[in-house]
Amino acid sequence: MRLSDLRMLSDRAYTPALANTPIWTQDLSLLSNYKLKAVHDLIRTRADRATADKAVRGVLQAVKRAEFFGEIDPSLNLWFDFHGPLTVQDFNEHMDHLDDLHQRMFLFGLANDMALTDVIALNWTQARRLMRMRDLHPICREILETQVRNVRSDFVFWQYLDEFAPAPIYDADERIQRTIHCPWSDYRRRYATMTNRPF
């Protein structure tokens, strides 16, 4: 099967730009992340970045759909970094824009490679289980050991709401993603690439 055979890619605004690249007529099994990057760069030079982004997103969606329906075997495991590499300077700027509690959640999620929703919902029963793990990252251990506990809430990360009722920080994922300007899953991957190792 070729890329041009995928129905999702026909009659799109970016189709002509994509059809003028070498991968259009190649067998899908030859498609790789490096080729996606090359195609993105090629379309960006010939057209613009928005068209290149749409074309690569279209390819990723079409390939995922084909994998889901068993049209492609084995899975190609494709992904594309639309945000570019994360730098230490970017990371420090993101940390500076967060208050102390959000910084702790941010670091805890990165060090543990956790979804933000799991960090928000983390309770002390789960935290005690994590603390028993020998390979728990030292930063996570320090955060848990120094985190202020509230006797009226079992959540590790909490804040006071009206009438001093402690509650989880439900908007933390939204706040953090607004600060980092990309989805959390992308940021975790970019962070892992930057450090080339777990936190």
pLDDT at 199: 44
Per-residue pLDDT of the chain (199 residues; tens, 9 = 90+): 899 998 889 889 999 999 999 999 988 888 988 899 899 999 989 998 889 989 999 999 999 888 888 888 767 888 777 777 788 988 999 999 999 999 999 999 999 989 999 999 999 999 999 999 988 999 999 999 999 999 888 999 999 887 778 889 999 999 999 999 888 988 998 888 888 744 4
Distance in angstroms between the alpha carbons of the first and the last residue of the chain: 40
Cβ proximity of 78 and 31 under 8 Å = yes
User: For residue 84, which of 159, 156, 190 has the smallest C-alpha distance?
Assistant: 190
* H-run or E-run covering 57: helix 49-68
Cβ proximity of 180 and 187 under 8 Å = yes
For residue 20, give both structure tokens: 């003028």
pLDDT at 72: 82
pLDDT at 18: 93
> Which amino acid type is present at position 190?
R
pLDDT at 71: 84
At which residue do the structure tokens 């990723």 appear? Answer: 60
User: For residue 23, which of 46, 44, 40 has the smallest C-alpha distance?
Assistant: 40
Q: How many CB atoms lie within 10 A of CB 161?
A: 11
Distance between CA atoms of residues 52 and 17, nearest Å: 8
> Which amino acid type is present at position 9?
L
Read off the pTM.
0.62
Residues belonging to the chain: 199
